[in-house]
Amino acid sequence: MTTQTAPEIKLTSFSHGGGCGCKIAPGVLADILRKSSGFPVPKELMVGIETSDDAAVYKLNEEQALIATTDFFMPIVDDPYDFGRIAATNAISDVYAMGGTPIMALALVGMPINQLPIDVIGKIIQGGESICAEAGIPIAGGHTIDSVEPIYGLVVMGLVHPSKVKRNADAKAGDKLILGKPLGVGILSAALKKNALDDAGYRAMIDNTTKLNKPGKALSDMRGVHALTDVTGFGLLGHLLELARGARLSARLNMSQIPLLPEVHELAGQGYVTGASGRNWAGYGQDVRLADEITATQKALLTDPQTSGGLLVSCEESVVPDVLALFQREGFGHAAVIGEMLAGPARVEVER
């Protein structure tokens, strides 16, 4: 049982889902986008919706391209300040995942005004502001509505040199895959909701989800780094599949090399998994090949929705030491090589 002091207002009690686990299931989202009508695409639009990338990129001139992204969700934790921090970190991550530098944000705020005290709403916004300050950007405006469930997030703008944009579709056969943060946020959040997460587990969860993916900017400058994305609501398998489909390659993961947050393997084995994990598998499991030795618990970890998850890097083997050294310098001590890209059909194979 958790030993944390329960807040007077339990934010998670207002929402049907939390964090990136709120995402529409990948299979349903694919059907929605498939049925949407086409529209003219200007030549300046370098990255749109075609490969399910992390953000849109629009070329402004020969030296600058604008990155635009948005992300918002319902509470994943009950502490309002932590909720704001997590949501802001998650939204800004998409700019880093394109290899860019964030320049400003707009706040998206939907709150049940008659049910949440003003000071609680204020702490959510203050939490987001603290992360934007850490990223060196202002919140320059935004929009608020009276909502049935608490919703908070950001629109984030960034800049990148057009030649240094890191798409999720440019991996090459022979590339090594590096993951910047450990998995297990969804597992910890499921345990938190059932009062089964201790203080150490909660702190590990907050530390992981409020750590800005700043190495993305330096990765854009590295020759040999071909593709970049971040792992969020669709889990490691889902976001790696997007990378594989975009590059028309296969990906191979080594389960034993994938970093995990403390206690998540044991908690997953005890049944503390989110509903999003099962929806994720239903949406893309047909394109995943699991070795016979992969357990149901490991499968749950691979599909676990990550709120504000780590960067996933596809790079030449020769620059692996440089990429790992960068992560280490920036405080990402769990960063590890977890697999590789191979010639073959667009799918993911998982070995023990």
| pLDDT score, position 52 | 83
Question: Band of the pLDDT at 5, cuts 50, 70, 90?
Answer: very low
The pLDDT of residue 1 is above 60: no
Say if residue 35's pLDDT is above 80. Answer: no
What is the per-residue pLDDT across 162-176, written as a single tens digit (0 to 9) for each? Answer: 999 999 999 999 999
Confidence category of residue 6, pLDDT binned at 50, 70, 90: very low
Nearest to 216 by CA among 104, 55, 97, 54: 97
Model confidence pLDDT, tens digit, residues 184-209: 999 999 999 999 999 999 999 999 99
Residue 165, Cβ neighbours under 10 Å: how many?
21
User: What is the mean pLDDT of the segment spanning 82-107?
Assistant: 97
3-state secondary structure at position 18: coil
Residue 7 has pLDDT above 70, yes or no: no
Residue 252 has pLDDT above 90, yes or no: yes
- pLDDT number for residue 53: 83
pLDDT tier, 11 (very low <50, low <70, confident <90, very high otherwise): confident
Higher per-residue confidence, 35 vs 97? 97
The pTM (predicted TM-score) of the whole model is 0.90
Say whether pLDDT at 303 is over 50.
yes
DSSP assignments along 167-229, one per residue: -SS---TT-EEEESS-B-HHHHHHHHHTT---HHHHHHHHHHHT---THHHHHTT-TTEEEEE
Whether 3 shows a pLDDT value over 50: the answer reads: no
The number of beta carbons lying within 10 Å of the beta carbon of residue 140 is 13
pLDDT above 60: residue 29: no
**Per the structure block, which two tokens stand in for 348?**
């993911």
Report the percent of the chain where pLDDT is more than 90. 86
Give me 175's structure tokens.
Answer: 């590339």
Lowest pLDDT segment from 43-57, 221-235, 311-325 = 43-57
Active site residues: 20
Q: Average pLDDT for residues 302-326, to the nearest whole number? A: 97
